[in-house]
A and B are shown apart, each in its own frame.
Chain A
Amino acid sequence: NAGVMQNPRHLVRRRGQEARLRCSPMKGHSHVYWYRQLPEEGLKFMVYLQKENIIDESGMPKERFSAEFPKEGPSILRIQQVVRGDSAAYFCASSPTGGRNTEAFFGQGTRLTVV
């Protein structure tokens, strides 16, 4: 059973381009979480999705950022018109269910650099 797979591992985009980050949860996991880690900071919650539904997007910037978790395929975090401040590591985690007793498993992250 492979772990949480994120790709690409590293992504370089010029200002104004779009960035698409992919996350394939562990097999059997239908809950996905995205976190962002800015340099020298801890991970900050962005969004929580279940299959085809956004449950909580309170940590997502209101503009340019969107996330989806379709019925088939990976979860996608999409950043439009990237700016330098979007440079960060983006981590995805998945769990089989929600709730306090559920452990979330993290992927290796995608390191986005905006030049």
Chain B
Amino acid sequence: GEDVEQSLFLSVREGDSSVINCTYTDSSSTYLYWYKQEPGAGLQLLTYIFSNMDMKQDQRLTVLLNKKDKHLSLRIADTQTGDSAIYFCAERANDYKLSFGAGTTVTVRA
């Protein structure tokens, strides 16, 4: 199957860490992605992780992958107001097709 699930909303205080969680079903996935969508904009690729890795860090972003549980998370350190957006988890189901979750709306409050 190609179902990707994630919680719909997350509210976080400015300066705190945000953690967005995602589960997927396709055990053959080789790449997993996090995209960011700001209001009225397209999808921006934030980061991705290859399935033989369990962690990837890129500045304020940390991706954790638990392949056994098919669980992916994105941690944003020192969350800023500019991080308010919808975050999509996606898996690459085959060479070209991406399967997306419904998106987590992150709201950063002062």
- The docked-state distance in angstroms from the alpha carbon of A106 to that of B30 is 20
Q: Which residue of A lies closest to B6 (CB)?
A: A42
Q: Which residue of B lies closest to A102 (CB)?
A: B96
The verdict on A40 contacting B8 (CB below 8 Å), with A106-B42, A107-B42, A108-B40 known, is yes
A108 in contact with B102 (CB, 8 Å): no
- CB-CB under 8 A from B97, the residues of chain A are 45, 48, 56
B102 in contact with A41 (CB, 8 Å): yes
Q: Say yes or no: is B99 at the interface (Cβ < 8 Å to chain A).
A: yes
Interface readout for A1-16 with B: 1 if CB under 8 Å, 0 if not?
0011010010000000
Number of residues from A at the complex interface, CB < 8 A: 30
- The docked-state distance in angstroms from the alpha carbon of A40 to that of B107 is 16
Q: Say yes or no: is A31 at the interface (Cβ < 8 Å to chain B).
A: yes
- CB-CB under 8 A from B100, the residues of chain A are 35, 42-44
- The docked-state distance in angstroms from the alpha carbon of A45 to that of B35 is 15
The verdict on A103 contacting B98 (CB below 8 Å), with A40-B8, A42-B88 known, is no
B95 in contact with A100 (CB, 8 Å): yes
A99 in contact with B96 (CB, 8 Å): yes
B98 in contact with A104 (CB, 8 Å): yes
B88 in contact with A108 (CB, 8 Å): no
Which B27-61 residues have C-beta < 8 A from chain A?
30-31, 35, 40-45
- CB-CB under 8 A from A48, the residues of chain B are 96-97
> Which 8 A-B pairs have CB atoms at the shortest separation, nearest pair first?
A42-B100, A106-B43, A108-B42, A43-B100, A106-B42, A42-B102, A45-B97, A42-B101
Interface residues of A (CB under 8 A from B): 3-4, 6, 9, 31, 33, 35, 40-45, 48, 55-56, 91, 93, 95, 98-100, 102-109
